[in-house]
Amino acid sequence: MREDVGVSLDDPEHVRHEYETDAALAARQSVYSEREGDDTFAMILDAIREPSPRRVLEVGGGQGTLAERIVGELHVELVGVDQSAHMVELQRVLGLDARVGDVQDLPFEDGAFDCAVAAWMLYHVPDLTRGLTELARVLAPGGRLVAVTNGLDHLNEL
């Protein structure tokens, strides 16, 4: 049996294990299914929409739910990168251009995207500075990074 006590959220082996299937991610996502307040996806879409991007990169997109909305509602070209082959396959089933990769070493030219999206995944990056540097590198001048993460007290009501 796996012992996860003391494992860091950015430990590559732990992250790889958690995303071999979508069961663990789906369980975490279910915590938010009945939350109240603003629609987080709508706020993310507004942040992406504002600079009128044509080409968007989403890193760590999980099952592709957000990417599917970005493409469907904003009519942009989107490339998804996830370190989990399983998550990439789930995205491809949705018709998305998804590729296995690492935010710390993105396989794209400098300035290749108008917008990059990193939603609820930066805490999994072992070298955050390197990951953010890569995201900045692949953004065109004046491009936008939309990063979403949880606050320290985001589960207090539970």
| DSSP class of 88 | H
Least confident of 32-46, 56-70, 72-86: 32-46
Give the model confidence (pLDDT) of 98-111 as tens digits. 999 999 999 999 99
Write down the pLDDT at residue 154: 45
Give the model confidence (pLDDT) of 106-156 as tens digits. 999 999 999 999 998 998 899 999 999 999 999 999 999 999 987 555 444
How many of the other CB atoms lie within 10 Å of CB of 145? 16
Write down the pLDDT at residue 1: 35
Write down the pLDDT at residue 26: 52
CA distance 42 to 36: 14
E-state strands within the chain: 55-59, 77-82, 97-100, 113-119, 139-148
What rounded mean pLDDT belongs to the chain? 84
Q: Count Cβ atoms within 10 A of the Cβ of residue 138 and give its class: 0-12 exposed, 13-18 middle, 19 or more buried.
A: buried
For 56, the token pair is: 């968007």
Spatial strand order of the sheet with 97-100 comes to 97-100, 77-82, 55-59, 113-119, 139-148
Mean of the pLDDT values across residues 76-87? 96
Least confident of 2-16, 58-72, 119-133, 144-158: 2-16
The model carries a pTM of 0.77
Residue 6 is which amino acid? G
Write down the pLDDT at residue 32: 45
Residue 60 is which amino acid? G
Share of the chain above pLDDT 90, in %: 66
Helix axes 40-49, 65-74, angle to 10 degrees: 50
CA distance 109 to 143: 14
